[in-house]
């Protein structure tokens, strides 16, 4: 069976030179590059599946030590050989990095092109794509390709830091269209002072309004009603249309930030009239409606939220807007308006991730109103949203038919129930395939949290779409710990999807048994459910060992360094070095599981309290238990004052329910 084979390979396989490779990695991590080079060279001398990677890493350490020319020569020698393999892309990317230090941008661009010419792109490759785009900008022949990347980041990402970085790059362009996209990026990020000079720089020469434009949109000098009327004279088509759109967007967003609602509304009205399908239009409306809601102007907020959906139902905020309408209608005297808002959301956005919460809210409203039949119907709709939706599992617990098992959160209290999914056996692979060098390398690298596993897995891309082995390959990647990349690739390929939703195999990609044999062993030793450990790890890092939060939490279980040091001292069976290497998946899983166990003990076995403690600290949770502890558990969760912790608890519990639904404790 696949599980048994994977266990042997992932946790019991021994590769020639493995000890030397790990010694090189440890020395490299500590900045002892001469020692690392020697260890990698020792590994490379032993023929086997690690030798080529050892040569790549040896060259990398030469560059890290300052010997860029030696590193460049070593990379070129390796790439000039007859051998081929997944390490070649890694070597091209690393060589490009070394060439950048010598300002050999044309050569670096060629190396990046060789390294990154594939689709679909997993999450981790974005850092290399970003570096490559920066190099392309330095090469006249490839400049457009570089700016294309940064334009895409500005217009697609919701993440502040990469959007800001991309806008800064585009602002250096000499092309007006690029500068306007940079302005859009700054506006989206709330950096209005950075956007204004770019808009003035690209203003149509015929406007003749430079002094007026410089004041319009400023937080310090809101535009007067007469000045807003002049917006009607702004260009609405031709070459100046893009500038007009960004200028109106700037006015809307900056004035919303200044709580100047008349000015914001005037700009949004113009945007709707002139650019109804533009992302900027819907983003500006979202800001305006939110400000009306904050000002407790409910009717205006509802009007503009609905207008966002009516303007562009395909916008990423459209379902959010209709859900916001529901929230504004909640608790009103007319339950009909609340139900209608939910039905509108369901009709216009049948695949919205908010439907579970929306229907569950309707069920509660009907229940409060004494209509048990309508409440049960609404809960049944919520339950249709599938595994991993907190409110779907919560709705199942409220339905009278009692399908599914109680998720063990607080003893026999049925907070959540598992749901039935179509039965599909776990995939299998022939032993001879699993014993190939490719899979053994992936297993070795992933177990130790090394990025080499990700480079290695790229060789599987052609097989991860229509190939008959795809189910087993996805399972192998998930079990090995390369779970987030597997999720990205499956999403790009729409693998395991049809008109009825996602197959069980696809759902198992979303909820993989990452590092499974290690997790099971740790769980058994600590007497904790392995699926609860996976539920936490999925939310904390999506199983990415090198992930570090802005606050400094690191590793698969995202422990703070101070917490890790405390545990290393407090737990007698922990080695002293365990706290110093949180990027090692096994170390992170051991420490995270132990910390979770201690939080469960502190919480008298209540998993919801334990998760709140894991995320916000036990002191905060103790305070909330004193404040809300007598309330039903659902009310306690919804009353947690920290938004991040409140959503964290619900998401991890939903993950837990999904795992128990998909694997049934197998």
Nearest to 444 by CA among 585, 592, 587, 555: 585
Q: How far apart are CA 513 and CA 530, in angstroms?
A: 9
CB 102 within 8 A of CB 79: no
The position carrying tokens 């030469």 is: 62
Q: How far apart are CA 470 and CA 495, in angstroms?
A: 9
**CA-CA distances (angstroms) from residue 178 to 153, 173, 175, 618?**
12, 6, 5, 49
Q: How far apart are CA 446 and CA 20, in angstroms?
A: 17
Q: Is 540 noted as a catalytic residue in this protein? A: yes
Q: How far apart are CA 215 and CA 116, in angstroms?
A: 45
> Three-state SS for 2?
helix
Q: Which helix (H) or strand (E) holds 628?
A: helix 618-628
Q: How far apart are CA 577 and CA 575, in angstroms?
A: 6
Angle subtended by helix axes 33-44 and 18-29, to nearest 10: 160
CB 318 within 8 A of CB 349: yes
Residue 282 is encoded by which pair of tokens? 């819907």
Residue 386 is encoded by which pair of tokens? 């599938």
- Within 235-329, residue ranges assigned H as helices are 241-257, 261-274, 279-294, 298-311, 318-329
Angle subtended by helix axes 607-616 and 618-628, to nearest 10: 130
Nearest to 453 by CA among 122, 23, 186: 122
Nearest to 176 by CA among 243, 274, 109: 243
Active-site position among 28, 456, 517, 540: 540
Name the pairing type of β-strands 497-498 and 501-502: antiparallel
Dihedral angle over CA of 309, 311, 316, 319, nearest 10: 0
Q: CB within 8 A of 158, min separation 6: which ones?
A: none
User: What is the set of active-site residues?
Assistant: 540
């Amino acid at each position: 069976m696949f599980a048994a084979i994977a266990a042997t390979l992932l946790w019991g396989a021994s590769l020639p030179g493995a000890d030397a490779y790990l010694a090189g990695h440890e020395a490299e991590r500590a900045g002892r590059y001469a020692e690392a080079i020697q260890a990698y060279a020792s590994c490379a001398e032993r023929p086997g599946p690690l030798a080529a990677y050892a040569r790549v890493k040896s060259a990398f350490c030469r560059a890290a030590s300052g010997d860029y020319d030696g590193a460049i020569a070593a990379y070129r020698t390796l790439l000039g050989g007859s051998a081929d393999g997944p390490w070649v892309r890694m070597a091209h990317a690393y060589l490009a990095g070394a060439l950048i230090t010598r300002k050999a941008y044309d050569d670096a661009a060629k190396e990046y092109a060789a390294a990154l010419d594939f689709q679909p792109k997993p999450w981790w490759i974005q850092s290399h794509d970003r570096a490559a785009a920066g190099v392309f900008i330095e090469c006249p022949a490839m400049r457009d390709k570089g700016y294309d990347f940064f334009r895409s980041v500005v217009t697609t990402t919701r993440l502040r830091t990469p959007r800001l970085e991309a806008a800064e790059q585009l602002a250096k362009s000499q092309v007006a269209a690029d500068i306007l996209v940079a302005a859009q990026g700054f506006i989206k990020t709330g950096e209005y002072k950075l956007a204004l000079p770019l808009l003035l720089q690209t203003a149509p020469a015929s406007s003749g309004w430079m002094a007026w434009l410089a004041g319009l949109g400023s937080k310090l000098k809101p535009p007067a009603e007469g000045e807003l009327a002049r917006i009607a004279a702004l260009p609405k088509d031709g070459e100046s249309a893009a500038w007009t759109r960004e200028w109106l967007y700037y006015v809307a967003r900056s004035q919303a930030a200044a709580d100047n609602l008349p000015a914001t509304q005037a700009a949004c009205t113009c945007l709707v009239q002139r650019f109804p399908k533009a992302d900027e239009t819907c983003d500006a409306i979202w800001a305006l409606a939110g400000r009306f809601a904050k000002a407790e102007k409910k009717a205006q907020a509802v009007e503009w939220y609905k207008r966002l959906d009516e303007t562009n139902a395909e916008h990423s905020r459209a379902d959010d807007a209709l859900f916001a309408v529901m929230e504004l209608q909640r608790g009103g005297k007319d339950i009909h308006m609340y139900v209608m808002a939910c039905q509108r959301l369901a009709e216009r956005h049948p695949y919205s991730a908010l439907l579970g919460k929306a229907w569950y809210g309707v069920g509660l409203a009907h229940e409060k109103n004494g209509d048990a039949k309508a409440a049960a119907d609404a809960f049944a709709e919520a339950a249709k949203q599938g595994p991993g939706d907190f409110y779907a599992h919560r709705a199942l617990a409220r339905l009278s038919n009692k399908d599914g098992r109680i998720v063990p959160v607080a003893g026999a209290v049925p907070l959540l129930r598992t749901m039935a999914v179509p039965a599909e056996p776990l995939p299998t692979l022939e032993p001879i395939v699993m014993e190939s060098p490719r899979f053994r390398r992936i297993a070795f690298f992933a177990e130790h949290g090394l990025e080499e596993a990700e480079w290695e897995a790229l060789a599987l891309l052609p097989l991860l779409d229509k190939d008959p082995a795809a189910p087993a390959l996805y399972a192998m990647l998930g079990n090995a710990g390369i779970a987030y990349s597997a999720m990205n690739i499956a999403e790009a390929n729409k693998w395991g999807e049809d008109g009825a939703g996602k197959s069980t195999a696809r759902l198992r990609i979303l909820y993989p048994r990452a590092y499974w044999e290690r997790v099971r062993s740790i769980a058994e030793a600590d007497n904790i459910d392995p699926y609860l450990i996976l539920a936490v790890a999925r939310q904390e890092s999506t199983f990415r060992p090198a992930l570090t939060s802005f606050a400094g939490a690191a590793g698969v279980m995202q422990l703070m360094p101070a917490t890790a040091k405390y545990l290393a001292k407090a737990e007698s069976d922990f080695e002293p070095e365990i706290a110093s290497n949180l990027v090692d998946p096994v170390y992170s899983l051991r420490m995270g599981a132990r910390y979770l166990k201690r939080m469960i003990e502190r919480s008298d076995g209540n998993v919801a309290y334990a998760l709140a403690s894991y995320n916000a600290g036990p002191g905060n949770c103790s305070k909330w238990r004193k404040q809300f502890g007598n309330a039903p558990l659902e009310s306690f969760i919804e009353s947690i004052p920290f938004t991040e912790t409140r959503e964290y608890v619900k998401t991890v519990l939903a993950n837990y329910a999904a795992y128990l639904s998909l694997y049934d404790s197998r």
